[in-house]
Amino acid sequence: MKLDRREFMVWGVGAAAVAVAGLPTIAMAAGDPTAEDAIKEFTGGAEVKSGRVELDTPEIAENGNTVPVSVSVDSPMTADDHVTDVLILADGNPRPGVATFRFTELSGEAEASTRIRLAKTQNVIAVAKMSDGTFFMDKQPVKVTIGGCGG
Amino acid sequence: MAKSKPRVKVPKKAEAGEIITIKTLISHKMESGQRKNKKTGELIPRKIINHFRAEFNGKLVFETAIEPAVSSNPYISFKMKVPESGEVVFTWTDDDGSKYTTKKKIKVG
């Protein structure tokens, strides 16, 4: 059972990688937002500083279908000073959006992890929105050996 | 498609004010809407879990909007500061509007 599934996965991934290679230009022509657009929309054009946000990604991801990503933001998480949202983007995917985490006072610490799909080698970006309206960003390059299924 | 089955890992006991880690996973194909049917060349329609939410005693702890770039069987972990005994309610929302929920109790002291 297990072997069958693995074989199936390998075939699926290979086919997807071929399919993806031709996609980004088509996606752009269709007017899909870029990572820059997504950041602008999230920040409303405000300045984005570096620091405070730490993005933890593997340097090399053998399988782009499931790449572990962790983000943590240096914040006391009190009522006056906390992180409200963190936007995660992948700038080389057909669509850059990955997820938006919302934290609350009950979070205690602004830290979350998930697993994402990366179509090819690219940057993963995290932008954090603070309760005082400032924004912080971190960017990590991830080398992808086998691209994830179509984004 | 197999039924989406949520799984969560939450400590049963905690100290008041302790920050715990909660891990969640739900079985779901997360069809991205970018893949093509190999025979017909048509795009396979998108069907993903697009939202996840965790509440403790009715108050929001953590929520996330999810895009197709999140892997199949989406895994999400996050932190929670436990103020008192209570129950965490987890809700996943599917593109077709279905909601999957599960609950876990935490005891303080």
- Substitution target in A8, A62, A83, A117 with the highest count of B β-carbons within 10 Å is A117
Number of helices (H), then strands (E), belonging to chain A: the values are: 3, 9
- Taking an 8 Å cut-off on Cβ atoms, the answer to whether A151 and B72 are in contact is no
Q: Tens digits of per-residue pLDDT, A111-124?
A: 999 999 999 999 99
ipTM: 0.92
Q: What is the pLDDT of residues A59-85, one digit of tens each?
A: 999 899 999 999 999 999 998 899 999
Structural domains in chain B, CATH included, are 5-108 (2.60.40.10)
**pTM to 2 decimals?**
0.83
- The one-character DSSP state at A66 is S
Task: Give the C-alpha separation, B44 to B50, whole Å.
Answer: 17
Interface test with B, best of A114, A129, A142, A144 (most B CBs within 10 A): A114
Strand partners of residue A111: A72
Concatenated DSSP letters for B64-104?
EEE-TTBPSS-EEEEEEE--SSEEEEEEEEETTS-EEEEEE
Which phi and psi angles does A7 have, rounded to 5°? -60, -45
Distance from C-alpha of B69 to C-alpha of B30, rounded to nearest angstrom: 9
A3-56 pLDDT per residue, tens: 455 555 445 544 444 444 444 444 444 556 799 999 999 999 999 999 999 999
